[in-house]
Amino acid sequence: MKDIKSFNIEELKTEMKEIGEPSFRAEQIFSWLHEKKVNSFEDMSNLSKDLRTKLSKNYEITALSEVRSLKSEDGTVKFLYKLKDGQVIESVLMSYKHGHSICVSSQVGCRMGCVFCASTIDGLVRNLTPSELLEQVYEAERSCNVNISNIVIMGSGEPMDNYDNVIKFIRLISDEHGKNISVRNITLSTCGLVPGIQRLADEGLPVTLALSLHAPNDELRKTIMPVAKAFSVAEIMKACDDYFKKTSRRVTFEYSMIDGVNDTTACAEELARLIKGKNCHVNLIPVNKIKERSFSRSKDDNISKFKNTLEKNRINVTIRRSMGTDIDAACGQLRRSFMEEGN
Ligand code: SAH
């Protein structure tokens, strides 16, 4: 069975040709799937009964089944979804004054091995398909009856390690005949796979790039992020500069603050030297404690000192508001606790 929700309109037209249908059916089906978000061929009421039967014999419509959802005091909702093959992923819906934003996972598990992250502990299981990425958005909208306007590809997984499916997802979700989200409202977060950043810069998609830096030099970065052995900070900076030149999108550097590891004033000064003068933004994230590791979050005092050092160098910096920590909202934690219950 073919995954019909992962097809764009051009591909659907080819499919229609193959099954002997006129090409305008492609637009109709696309709109049912991506605009009206139906999950059954039966609901596609402007298609003949014969066509609906034909479609259901050849194609499947990807759907996620919600196994759990948790609502935080701050309104954040964390969803745990089961996929067709029984794998479980998580997504987080965050509500702000200016609208609703969703954090989607791009893979089941992750193979990047960052030492402070819960998603990577059991390695990579598999990539998510474009339709599984889309359904995280659609299902959250259905279930909370909201219109999502911002997407951050910042959940479990490394999007650059599932490049083609992630790009397809971005093109589908921003298609004017579908959900039509502005590409400018999409942020992709990467641990720094340089070839992926270079490719993304040439896609013609003005996605906001968030770069998980977490350390100002290779030596320290290698101790917390194995990917640092493959790509140096210098190579990453060059790729980010080029990304900005080509897309005019200001790059965000994410910096998870771990007590006693990367939060010293010396680190802040080194980071300031590294990025001073760049059109960028730094997001400081007090690390979320995961029980499998002994790291703890930086002390508030050290976080403000770090921030001040950057600000003195006229670097744009914010401290990420922790949302939903009461519901295990940090990367991969809810999925892990669910699996540990023997599911
Ligand atoms: N693989 C991508 C996206 C997923 S992780 C990336 O590395 O960017 C999203 C962000 O959360 C990354 O910056 C990641 O380093 C950070 N992160 C992971 N675990 C965390 C934790 N326990 N506390 C704080 N930030 C964490």
Residue 183 contacts residue 169 (beta carbons within 8 Å)? no
Find the Cα–Cα–Cα–Cα dihedral 3, 125, 297, 76, rounded to 10°.
Answer: 30
Q: How far is the centre of ligand 1, averaged over its atoms, from the C-alpha of 283 (Å)?
A: 12
**All structural domains of the chain:** 2-60 (1.10.150.530), 65-340 (3.20.20.70)
Q: For position 98, what pLDDT does the model report?
A: 86
Task: State how far the Cα of 8 lies from the Cα of 248, in Å rounded to an integer.
Answer: 27
Q: How far is the centre of ligand 1, averaged over its atoms, from the C-alpha of 213 (Å)?
A: 10
Task: State how far the Cα of 110 lies from the Cα of 130, in Å rounded to an integer.
Answer: 17
Quick one: the chain helix, strand, coil %, rounded to 5? Answer: 40, 20, 35
- 100 three-class SS: strand
Choose the residue to mutate in 153, 154, 288 for probing ligand 1, maximizing ligand atoms within 8 Å of C-beta.
Answer: 154
Q: For position 72, what pLDDT does the model report?
A: 86
Q: For position 329, what pLDDT does the model report?
A: 54
Ligand 1 near 134 CB (within 6 A): no
Closest CA to 91 of 112, 111, 119: 119
Residue 66 contacts residue 89 (beta carbons within 8 Å)? no
Q: How far is the centre of ligand 1, averaged over its atoms, from the C-alpha of 231 (Å)?
A: 17
Q: For position 166, what pLDDT does the model report?
A: 99
Per-residue confidence in pLDDT tens, the chain, 343 aa:
999 999 999 999 999 999 999 999 999 999 999 999 999 999 999 999 999 999 999 999 999 999 999 988 888 999 999 999 999 999 999 998 889 999 999 999 999 999 999 999 999 999 999 999 999 999 999 999 999 999 999 999 999 999 999 999 999 999 999 999 999 999 999 999 999 999 999 999 999 999 999 999 999 999 999 999 999 999 999 999 999 999 999 999 999 999 999 999 999 999 999 999 999 999 999 998 888 888 999 999 999 999 999 999 999 999 987 666 666 656 566 777 777 776 6
Ligand 1 near 158 CB (within 6 A): yes
Q: For position 294, what pLDDT does the model report?
A: 85
pTM: 0.96
**Which residues have CB under 8 Å from 256's CB, separation 6+?**
116, 212, 214, 262, 285, 286, 287
Which atom of ligand 1 is closest in space to residue 212's alpha carbon?
Answer: 13
**Which residues have CB under 8 Å from 124's CB, separation 6+?**
107, 108, 109, 110, 111, 157, 161
Backbone region of residue 260 per phi and psi (left: phi > 0; alpha: psi in -120 to 50; beta: other values): left
Protein residue with its CA nearest to atom 1 in ligand 1: 158
Q: For position 336, what pLDDT does the model report?
A: 75
Residue 89 CB coordination number (10 Å): 28
Choose the residue to mutate in 191, 212, 289 for probing ligand 1, maximizing ligand atoms within 8 Å of C-beta.
Answer: 212
Active site residues: 90, 331
- 155 three-class SS: coil
Protein residue with its CA nearest to atom 13 in ligand 1: 212
